[in-house]
Structure 1
Amino acid sequence: MKFKTKLYASIGSIIVLISIIVIILMNMLEQSTVNMHVVVNELYERTKMTSTIKYETANIGRALREITANPTGDEVDISVMNEWEEAHVNLRLALETLEKMDAQVKSQELIAKFRTLHGAYQANATQIITLQKVDKNANVEPFLSNDAKITRQRMLQMAEVLHGLQEQELKNELFRTRESYSLAVKMIYIYLALSLSLGVGFTLWIIRNITKDLNNVTTVLKSVSNTNTEALPRIEISSKGEVGAIAVAFNKMARTLEDKSSLEKQLKEEAEELSWLKTNIAEIATMYPEVENVKMLAKSLITKLVPMIGANYGVFYIKETEGNDHYLKRIATYAFSNDQPQFERFRIGEGLIGQCAAEKRVILLNQSNDTGIRIQTGLVQSSPKAIIMVPIEFEGNVLAVIEIASLNGINTLQIKLLEEIVGNVGMTINSIRNRMAVERLLKESQALTEELQAQSEELQAQSEELQLQQEELRTANEKLEEQYENSENKKQELEKVREALEEKAQQLEVSSQYKSEFLANMSHELRTPLNSLLILAQILTENEEKNLSSKQQEYVRTIYSSGTDLLQLINDILDLSKVEAGKIELIYSKIEFEELQEFVKKQFSPIAIQKKVAFNIELAPNLPNVLFSDEQRLHQVLKNMLSNAFKFTETGSVSLVIRKTTKKELGEHRFNNTTAQSMLVFSVIDTGIGIAREKQNIIFEAFQQADGTTSRQFGGTGLGLSISKNIAFLLDGFIEVDSEEGKGSTFTFYLPLYESMDEVAHEIPNEEVAASVDQPVPSVMLLENQEKAPSRSKSNDNGQSLLRGKKVLIVDDDIRNVYALTTALEKYQMDIIYAENGREGIETLHENPDVDLILMDIMMPEIDGFEAMRRIRSIPKFKTLPIIALTAKAMKHSRQECLDAGASDYISKPIILDQLFSLMQVWLYSKVE
């Protein structure tokens, strides 16, 4: 460009620059205004949605009160029901709209919790409305004032929090928008001033540049005589005017002279670099045959490689797999001094180490002065100037990553050396792993059958072949394909071993199923004769005819006691089977400590008085009022622990101490199954015979005792502690024992402390909570009918007047049970008829339609009890006939199966007569009403 052209260009550029800046700033101002309107409108809509949620939440409460206050079903009630349903629809639509518009994590969490409360409230309210429709005189006020009211109040509180969040965000956004608008106006004036300054400065710069170009030409021309042809100076002028033409001509001449000299120098440098690369690659290759495992390879490689490229720090990360996750774990270092655990391993994609593996490419960082890495000597710490991460691959898969840091930087030649070396390292790692896999297979194959032993010998031969191929790789990589094929063969053999193990697992599962079925059938076979034995023994112990001597009464009590002990043994074996099969069902409920204390006191105070042993119950003052757990299983563990304490304590005392502590005090690592921070500690302390230290582990095994000899002093099966240990584990706790022979024992039961059902729901998956806490209990019907039944105090003949003259049909294929039940029922002057199976029972029922109640056995030939009850219920006139199911099976879901088949109630064998009479009175009284 001519000098004149440059001057015109400088003035024109000022005008263009100012115009562009003004246009940009005005667009910014206009866009800021548009954004403000968009944001404010959107936030206003979100605030409107939260207001709708608050309004509709209040509306459904008002509608529910109007519905329950007017249960007549007239047009007013129907219109209120329509408002009730419309309010729920509006509430859900508002929640969905807000959920789509507001992506904040806190808002999303509140919406999810509100939706859960809304579902619970709607389900509870629907239940109340349905109950009132069935019984218009039902008192639903307790439900409205308790569960429903509390749930709706929580919904209103949560809606208020959501509304507050939206209003606060609206205020914050308006404030930010006003600030942004003010800033944009200020920037307009600032940019205009800057543009004028830049234009003037640009003009002055062009003038100075013209003068500078002329001075440059003069200086370079003067210095030519003082330089050689290898490095001639250049005229650095970017303009294309007169001075630029001179500079181009001079630079072209200098380049021609230098090309010849630089070509000779470049060829020499390339020869030296190639020689350096081959020498170092060969030095690393000689190391491979000496390594025995991946860790040794990593240590040797990082030790040689880091100083070889003039670096000062290095780490070798190997890829490992845990489940579905892949990690890069540090296994070898050079000059490493960082002990922080977060640098121990990285997930794939985590940090630059993980990203290097994910992208399968070299990552180079230059001028890394602010990194956390410090290269240490005995005197100082320095930050590296360059860090490089190189992935080690084999057939497209990343096996490891090398990280190297240098105080002097890393050049292209050093990077090339790293890339050449890691190519062979990947093959070496794969070969080592294949060899180690083969060795592992050889060790495992020793435990297999003779056929697998033959395969083990073949694997040994192949391992030797792999070692031979390893030696050949030292000089060349010609047999890589053959080694890969051998590796594939090993994978196929491993797959065969895995399939064999899966087949074994299936066989074990079938075996466990057979065991459960066997125990169920054995339970039936044992309980059936035991039923008649206990019933007749109980009748004899009453001795109503006063025809038994005191000695004979003692014999009968012994028979009844022995039968009861046998029943307890059967129940223990079934409990152990359920625990082993994972079929124990946990039912969480609220437990009050005062009731728990009263239960223990009633159970064991008589035993303490009989044995003349002091019995103490201590509750720590920091205990809450209630806890949430499975009350039946908690009672079972405490009963087993206290029963053992009293059994082995002849003199002294037995104490139950209940206190509260934290996981931190006990050691976090001991409680991996629960996130609860507070723990309950139940300690049973006795002054009994104690347990030898070498026997303290076996007492928790099934059928094991501290004294297992034939001459042992104390009886029992050894199942109680085994069952208690497994129940404690299912409740996310455990049991410990501390004992010294001759000085007594302390059994301690640690249990997570849940003080609300929300904590239980957080700890247990939702479907399990539903199965254990919101699920209906089948005995509710029984409890309701028992409330209507006449109490014994109101009947002068102890309830016999309700049973006298009633006709009862007994359906049972075991004549012993029929005889025992007939004997017991005829004492109440009842009319007894019986049938030996379900088919005869239905025929007998048709012949005697005036039957008042049926006692139905379940397991019978031809037609079993389930099918018989279903057929009876299909007959219209027998739909409400009371049927009490009698079964010797006491497995999971036995009760529900009977109720589903048509039974009115359920009782398991051996039958407790008082319980049977109570049930009969309940259902006969219900039939009379």
Structure 2
Amino acid sequence: MTEHGSTPNGAVPQTELGEDGLGQLLAGLTAVREGDLSVRLPVAADGILGEIAGVYNDMVGHLSLVTSEVTRVADEVGAQGLLGGRIREPRSRGVWRELTSGVNTMADNLTSQVRSIAQVATAVAGGDLTRKIRVDARGEILELKETINTMVDRLSSFAAEVTRVAREVGTEGKLGGQAQVHGVSGTWKRLTENVNELAGNLTRQVRAIAEVTSAVAEGDLTRSITVDAPGEVRDLRDNINSMVESLRATTRSNEEQDWLQTTLARTTGLLQGTRSLPEIAELIMAEVPPLVGAQYGAFFLAGEDEKGTELVMTASYGSPDDPDSPPRRFRLGQSLVGQAARDRRALVVEHVPPGYATIASGVGAGDPGMLVVLPLVVEEQVLGAVEFASLHPFSPLRREFLDRFVVSAGAVLSSLVANLRTDELLGQYRKLADELSFRSKELQTGQQELQRSNAELQEKAALLAERNKDIESKNLVIEQARQELEDRAQQLSRTSMYKSEFLANMSHELRTPLNSLLILARLLAQNTEGNLTEKQVDYAEVIHSAGSDLLQLINDILDLSKVEAGKMDLRREPFHLSQLVEYLEATFGPVADERRLRFTVTLADDLPESLNSDEARIRQILRNLLSNALKFTEEGGVSLTVEHAPSTETPPTLAAAGQVLAFRVTDTGIGIPVEQLQHVFEAFQQGDGTAARRYGGTGLGLSISREVAGLLGGAIEARSVAGRGSTFTFYLPVPRPAELAAAGAASTARARTVPVSSPVVRTDGGGSPDGPAGRTVLVVDDDARNVFALTAALEGRGLHVLTADGGRAGLDVLAAHGEVALVLMDVMMAGMDGYSAIKAIRRMPDRAGLPVIVVTAKAMPGDRAQALAAGADDYVSKPVDEEELIGKIRDWLTG
């Protein structure tokens, strides 16, 4: 038997080894076999049994220590996840050393493998997809390693593809990009598909808008945007489609009226040159049917006989009748020709029955689809009739031409008949005069005959006087027709004015949503709260850039309408030539560097320091010229040279202008063919206007520049060689030194009385410049998008914002909130507009000096003056430049 106990020093309990030592040894070994390592043998025995007990106890103690270490390592590594654990038993030998080494090897391998997997997983979680599991592994760990490495590869491929598509579509503007990620499934496949769908939708929407706006810029008004789009893109699509439809209708109406007036004037002029009735009949049949698309025509001339008025076919067009057969004749009321003449009104047969009439050609014949008979009537007198037939219905424009043509033709025909009758009477008069001379010799024998002849002569003279009066009446009809043509020309002029006004209103409708788009995009791009990713900031900057490009297109179209309507104002003020040069270098220097082109500005030594002109318009001209030069130049450089123009080079129109400066923009680009050199100055014209062109643009820049140069008293000329570059020269007259000095003194004596306000608290930090923080501003606008955008921009600068959706509501807010320190007022609002609201504010107690800044998108000449006349203090046009607006608010609030 064995007893368990503890030694005084806390050793493992031992069993006393009695006489039956082998039995005790057997019991100890049995305990070890059962996994009990707590049994010890007594070592007091002598001889072999004592040695066996010692070896047994050492073995069990060592085995217990190894077991404890293995259990500890397994618990730390396998259960607690504490990697790096090892068995610390240096005395192990033989199989125990192998066991210790095997467990340590397993722990080391597991530690390195798990740590490598953890490092890669941590890198992936942190967005680093360059790390992979490199540690050796076998079995399921190898499968896990390969699975994770495959996942990293696919994530890396996915991220690279999505980043590429986002950069191409969102940043570089290369539409049509699609992410190509192979082998992904589940969430990654759906995310790839979502990114591709986003890029595809954006591509389709932007390309559809670009195609239609490019087509409109090139004069093609047949296109419209049909792509599906939500939100503000849909509003932009609908606005552009409405603009194109209005332009299409206006252009079609103008073209039709121009064709009508031009064709009517031409044919009437041809008729006025005829001197016989057959000639006028043949001329009408030769000219009119092709103009109205008729395949058959007949001209009937009215004549008188003993039975009354008869209409005789005098000329025809495309008639199947035998030319040698007798001409057709109709009495008043007989057939449709006679009926139209009797009723003195046109007859129209829209559905001609089969077999009624025949239109024949050399290869066949057919029934007409429409028949028109029109009488030629002047002052209720029937002079003739015309009949036209066509295989297809006459368009309303052709019908209107026929209705107006018969009026002019009737007047010409009446005048010709009167002239022929006058010639006949004059012939009779001469014959009678000769006869009277002959009869005078027989005066004595023919006194009675002479009296009868004199009576007849007086009757003929009276008839001649009556005919002359009739001729004067016919001439009056012709004069009325001429006056009508002049009225039509004035109508075309008014139409042009209406078009300009339409473009101004349309610019307002486009600027209004664009205002909120640009402001919100800029706020997102600034990322003041830091909650947007770098890609989202890039997307916001791309949206802002695209909106800015659209704004430039709107401004170009509006400038063109101002020039056409003669309403572009000029503000001549002295300015330093150096500041103009600095502006151009700062604007185009970075562009040239980005395109790896040389950009130089050279000033002659004898130039004046200051110029007295409209600096903004001069900047606009040079900006357009330099933008074109950089756009059409791929290698080499662009230069701007400013010098006095030699007298031999000055355009003839500026010969009397005295000194003339020449601003020369020279490039080494693609050049312009000679046959296209003059066309590039026409609106919507480009050097390459095909669908496959390499360079974009609307074709308005040079047209506007030439017109603005003319308003400044100057001119623009171009020289170019295809493939070798171009030189555009802007000639600007320079006033005499005395005139410049006077203008400078006047300018110095005059941006400005600013109302004095109480001091304001300025804020620092947070990325915002010092501003009038804490003050209250009222925004009055009936467009919720603009209100939202302006509120976000102003509150971001520390201002407190109140809003009102109309002029009347704005007055109520002012009455209730005395803390309002400034008002931003929209002009075009339903109900009470901005002008009326400003006038009402000036009549409110203690509000006469309240600063009011007008915010409008119409931006037509005279708008600023009208706003100031209504009582406004300042003026800002949409889309609002945030820095400009904050600067104006700061000026008016800080004084």
Normalising to structure 1: TM-score of the pair? Answer: 0.46
Larger-gyration structure (1/2) = 2
Q: Which has the higher helix share?
A: 1
TM-score (structure 2 length as normaliser): 0.48
